[in-house]
């Protein structure tokens, strides 16, 4: 279904009028190869929300273990117990690593992990409690919905009670991983043992009801069709209508090194920028759209500011998951380099905390 010029003009007018787009509109936009047209629409939708501000934060990533019983075809991070490269941090090692690598002005610790076959739920609670004690001013953003479901099983608690216990220990928000692509056809092929879309959405909904903000992601550019991308995005939009608990949407580019999808070519910059643009105009109830520079590359992340993106993530400090899958980006970036990237694009670098309170803004390039 390729849209005529008249239909695209009609769609453009509906976006300018603030009307909600349908699944058919989304599919038609994915079929449109006029990237500058898509950028214009997305930039309009972005400017209405955040003007010239481009957000980033001072964050640090931490992965407690890579030992996993999962079988996700796109994954290059997981190891079996005893396999070369397999590791599991003790609680003390996790805290030492987080503190030792904490950059000045750290506001967020981002903790995601594999599904370890034997670690007890208490370990994950204790890690959060000790991290919070060691870094009391830092926002602990930890665990995916997939991990929360796993904790529910190993802890013998409902997901709601798991979230309550973790919140009491210091958890402030959930990460967005594990969403991949919601369509069952794709999940069966790329992550057959992972929770369903319904379960992922249910856990995020529970978190929102408990006052925990969360992030939404989409792993794109592998086996999914444009219609399945649109379906994914609109399911997120529906939950956001109901709870308002998502802070930001992060499309993540699939990487094809060291995993079972090595034969699948990666999305080109054109496809990445189109995905940002279409996401921005479909997600009329999401305040922010993030280009995670580790996943899409620094140059494409900077260009994505013309395609609806208003957030470049943060300093990161030692990213492992995407680098195991062949990401060629650095494992961290300095705050000054992030500011420079944003200034070069003619925008206002705006340092934020996890929930988008502004910490500081920086001037434009002289
Ligand atoms: S994506 Fe997560 S659950 Fe799947 S194999 Fe990798 S670490 Fe395990």
- Ligand 1 atom, smallest distance to 191 CA: 4
Report which protein residue has its CA nearest ligand 1's atom 4.
Answer: 72
Give the fold, CATH level 3, of 5-361: TIM Barrel (3.20.20)
Q: How many Cβ atoms sit within 10 Å of the Cβ of residue 120?
A: 12
Output the CA angle 172-177-182, nearest 5 degrees: 130
Distance of CA 111 to the CA centre of its chain: 12
pLDDT score at 326: 67
Report which protein residue has its CA nearest ligand 1's atom 8.
Answer: 70
Report which protein residue has its CA nearest ligand 1's atom 3.
Answer: 70
Q: How many angstroms does the Cα of residue 99 sit away from the middle of ligand 1?
A: 26
Query: Taking a C-beta distance cutoff of 8 angstroms, is the pair 291, 276 a contact?
Result: yes
Residue 141: phi and psi, rounded to 5, are -105, 110
Spatial distance between the Cα atoms of 273 and 276, rounded to a whole number of angstroms: 5
Spatial distance between the Cα atoms of 356 and 288, rounded to a whole number of angstroms: 9
- Ligand 1 atom, smallest distance to 68 CA: 8
Please give the chain's pLDDT, 366 residues, in tens. 577 888 889 999 999 999 999 999 999 999 999 999 999 999 999 999 999 999 999 999 999 999 999 999 999 999 999 999 999 999 999 999 999 878 889 999 999 999 999 999 999 999 999 999 999 999 999 999 999 999 999 999 999 999 999 999 999 999 999 999 999 999 999 999 999 999 999 999 999 999 999 999 999 999 999 999 999 999 999 999 999 999 999 999 999 988 999 999 999 999 999 999 999 999 999 999 999 988 899 999 999 999 999 999 888 876 677 667 666 666 678 889 999 999 999 999 999 999 999 999 998 766
Residues in the chain: 366
Spatial distance between the Cα atoms of 143 and 147, rounded to a whole number of angstroms: 6
Spatial distance between the Cα atoms of 202 and 233, rounded to a whole number of angstroms: 16
Q: How many angstroms does the Cα of residue 93 sit away from the middle of ligand 1?
A: 22
Q: How many angstroms does the Cα of residue 181 sit away from the middle of ligand 1?
A: 14
* Residue from 72, 180, 323 whose mutation best tests the ligand 1 pocket (most atoms within 8 A of CB): 72
* Ligand 1 neighbourhood includes 74 CB (under 6 angstroms): no
* Ligand 1 neighbourhood includes 286 CB (under 6 angstroms): no
Q: How many angstroms does the Cα of residue 337 sit away from the middle of ligand 1?
A: 31
Two structure tokens written together for 268 = 């080109």
pTM to 2 decimal places: 0.95
pLDDT score at 101: 73
* Ligand 1 neighbourhood includes 115 CB (under 6 angstroms): yes
Domain ranges, ordered by start, for the chain: 5-361
Strand order in the sheet with 311-314: 311-314, 53-57, 348-352, 358-361
């Amino acid at each position: 279904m390729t849209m005529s010029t008249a239909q695209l003009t009609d769609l453009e007018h509906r976006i300018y009028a603030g009307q909600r787009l349908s699944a058919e509109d989304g599919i038609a936009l994915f079929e449109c190869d006029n990237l500058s047209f898509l950028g214009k629409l997305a930039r309009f939708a972005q400017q209405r929300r955040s003007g010239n501000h481009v957000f980033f934060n001072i964050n640090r990533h931490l992965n407690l273990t890579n030992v996993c019983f999962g079988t996700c075809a796109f994954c290059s991070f997981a190891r079996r117990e005893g396999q070369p490269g397999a590791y599991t941090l003790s609680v003390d090692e996790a805290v030492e690593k987080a503190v030792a690598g904490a950059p000045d002005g750290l506001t967020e610790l981002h903790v995601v992990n594999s599904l370890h076959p034997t670690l007890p739920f208490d370990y994950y609670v204790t890690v959060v409690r000790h991290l919070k004690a060691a870094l009391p001013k830092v926002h602990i953003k930890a665990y995916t919905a997939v991990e929360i479901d796993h904790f529910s099983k190993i802890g013998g608690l409902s997901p709601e009670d798991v979230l309550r216990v973790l919140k009491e220990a210091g958890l402030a928000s959930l990460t967005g991983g594990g969403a991949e692509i919601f369509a069952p056809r794709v999940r069966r092929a790329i992550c057959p043992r992972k929770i369903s879309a319904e379960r992922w959405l249910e856990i995020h909904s529970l978190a929102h009801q408990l006052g925990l903000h969360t992030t939404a992601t989409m792993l794109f550019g592998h086996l999914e069709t444009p219609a399945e991308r649109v379906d994914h995005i609109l399911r997120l939009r529906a939950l956001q209508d109901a709870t308002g608990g998502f802070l930001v949407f992060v499309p993540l580019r699939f990487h094809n090194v060291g995993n079972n999808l090595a034969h699948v070519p990666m999305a080109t910059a054109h496809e990445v920028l189109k995905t940002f643009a279409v996401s921005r105009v479909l997600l009329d109830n999401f305040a922010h759209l993030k280009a995670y520079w580790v996943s899409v590359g620094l140059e494409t992340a900077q260009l994505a500011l013309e395609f609806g993106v208003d957030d470049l993530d943060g300093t990161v400090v030692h990213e492992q998951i995407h680098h195991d899958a062949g990401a060629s980006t650095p494992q961290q970036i300095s705050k000054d380099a992030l500011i420079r990237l944003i200034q070069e694009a003619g925008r206002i670098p705006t340092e934020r905390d996890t929930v988008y309170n502004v910490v500081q803004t920086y001037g434009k390039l002289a």
